[in-house]
């Protein structure tokens, strides 16, 4: 695995850990907004590092996985701020 593949995998694992902490209901007090932005930025970093990976199949696997997580976080942010409700 290339360095970018490892970085993309690390970004995905970090996103999963942060998402499960958010889902468990841990009180974040004053850093909640920063935490949500971090959950939005990590998939962007993962897409960038996944796109730089050398193996073609692994590259598109990482890019598609991170794009799915980015869309998921975008939808959750829209729900959190009440924008997507009719």
pLDDT digits (tens, 9 = 90+) for 42-57: 999 999 999 998 888 9
- For 77, the domain range is 51-86
Residue 84 lies inside a defined structural domain of this protein: yes
Residue 57 lies inside a defined structural domain of this protein: yes
**pTM score of the predicted model:** 0.81
Residue 58 lies inside a defined structural domain of this protein: yes
Number of structural domains the chain divides into: 1
Q: Mean pLDDT for the chain?
A: 86
SS3 labels along the chain: CCHHHHHHHHHHHHHHHHHHHHHHCCCCHHHHHHHHHHHHHHHHHHHHHHHCCCCHHHHHHHHHHHHHHHHHHHHHHHHHCCCCCC
Residue 73 lies inside a defined structural domain of this protein: yes
Residue 69 lies inside a defined structural domain of this protein: yes
Residue 80 lies inside a defined structural domain of this protein: yes
| pLDDT, tens digit (0-9, with 9 covering 90-100), for 23-41 | 887 777 778 778 888 888 9
């Amino acid at each position: 695995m290339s360095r970018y593949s490892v970085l993309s995998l690390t970004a995905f694992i970090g996103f999963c850990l942060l998402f499960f902490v958010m889902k468990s209901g841990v009180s974040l007090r004053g850093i909640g907004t920063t935490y949500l932005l971090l959950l939005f930025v990590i998939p962007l970093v993962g897409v960038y590092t996944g796109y730089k990976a050398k193996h073609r199949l692994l590259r598109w696997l990482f890019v598609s996985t991170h794009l799915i997580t980015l869309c998921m976080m975008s939808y959750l942010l829209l729900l959190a701020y009440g924008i997507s409700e009719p």
